[in-house]
């Protein structure tokens, strides 16, 4: 369709994989073209994190982003969508520069989903693994059934709407 995409590295497009590793675990894996030192920086500096956490292609905006990246430090992300806001917050359990971040997700009712991100430097590239451990099988089942995630429940619901709209406008295939 669009032939002008010189800024995109089309040859080596990295794709994320998502796997339900167990009844309570969901794992996202992807390689990022950059050393772990830099990728880690992009995950921990709020002014950088806020530039990519809410993808531009999603109908949400990140209104504020506070991260106090040290063990016991808190984070708080506020998203906006059509006039309403939603908050995600928790605290960092582990901070190991350039290799490991662990935080809690305290906004949900069930509470207790723990996210572990590991950064593995593989010669200038970084293998990124985002691991969500839910408090119970039921909690992950519920998240899936309700279309929510530990990260952005409403965003995914909105994605649903977007897909429905796109499907409708494209016509039946």
Partner 1 sequence: MVQYASGRLDASFAALSDATRRGVLERLGRADASITDLAVTFHMTLTGMRKHVGVLEQAELVTTEKVGRVRTCRLGPRRLEEETAWIERYRHLWDSRLDELDKVVEELKRKEKVDGLNARE
What is the C-alpha separation between 62 and 73, in angstroms, rounded?
Answer: 20
Cα Rg of the chain (Å, integer): 17
Least Å from the CB of residue 72 to partner 1: 26
Assess contact for 64 and 53: CB atoms under 8 A.
no
Residues that bind partner 1 in the complex, under the rule CB under 8 A: 13-20, 26, 28, 30, 32-34, 38-39, 41-42, 48, 51-58, 128, 130, 144-145, 147, 149, 151-152, 155-156, 159-161, 163-164, 166-168, 170, 172-173
Half-sphere exposure of 171 (CA within 13 A, CB side): 1
71 or 144: CB nearest partner 1: 144
Minimum gap (Å) between residue 143 Cβ and partner 1: 9
* CA distance linking residue 116 with residue 111, whole number of Å: 15
Please say which residue, 59 or 71, places its beta carbon nearer to partner 1.
Answer: 59
With b for 16 or more beta-carbon neighbours within 10 A and e for fewer, the 6-39 pattern comes to eeeeeeeeeeeeeeeeeebebbbeeeeeebbebb
Shortest Å distance, C-beta 118 to partner 1: 15
> In the bound complex, what is the minimum distance in angstroms from residue 54's beta carbon to partner 1?
8
Judged by CB, which is closer to partner 1: 22, or 71?
Answer: 22
């Amino acid at each position: 369709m669009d032939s002008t995409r010189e800024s995109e590295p089309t040859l080596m497009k990295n794709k994320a994989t998502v796997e339900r590793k167990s009844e309570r675990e969901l794992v996202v894996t992807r390689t990022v073209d950059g050393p772990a030192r830099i990728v880690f920086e992009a995950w921990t500096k709020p002014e950088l994190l806020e530039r990519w956490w809410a993808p531009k292609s999603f109908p949400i905006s990140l209104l504020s982003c506070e991260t106090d990246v040290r063990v016991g430090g808190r984070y708080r992300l506020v998203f906006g969508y059509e006039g309403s806001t939603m908050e995600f917050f928790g605290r960092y359990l582990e901070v190991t520069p350039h290799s490991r971040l662990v935080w809690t997700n305290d906004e949900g009712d069930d509470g207790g989903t723990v996210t572990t991100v590991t950064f593995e430097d593989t010669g200038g590239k970084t293998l990124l693994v985002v691991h969500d451990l839910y408090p119970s099988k039921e909690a992950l089942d519920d998240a899936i059934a309700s279309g929510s995630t530990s990260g952005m429940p409403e965003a995914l619901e909105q994605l649903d709407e977007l897909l429905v709209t796109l499907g409708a406008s494209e016509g039946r295939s």
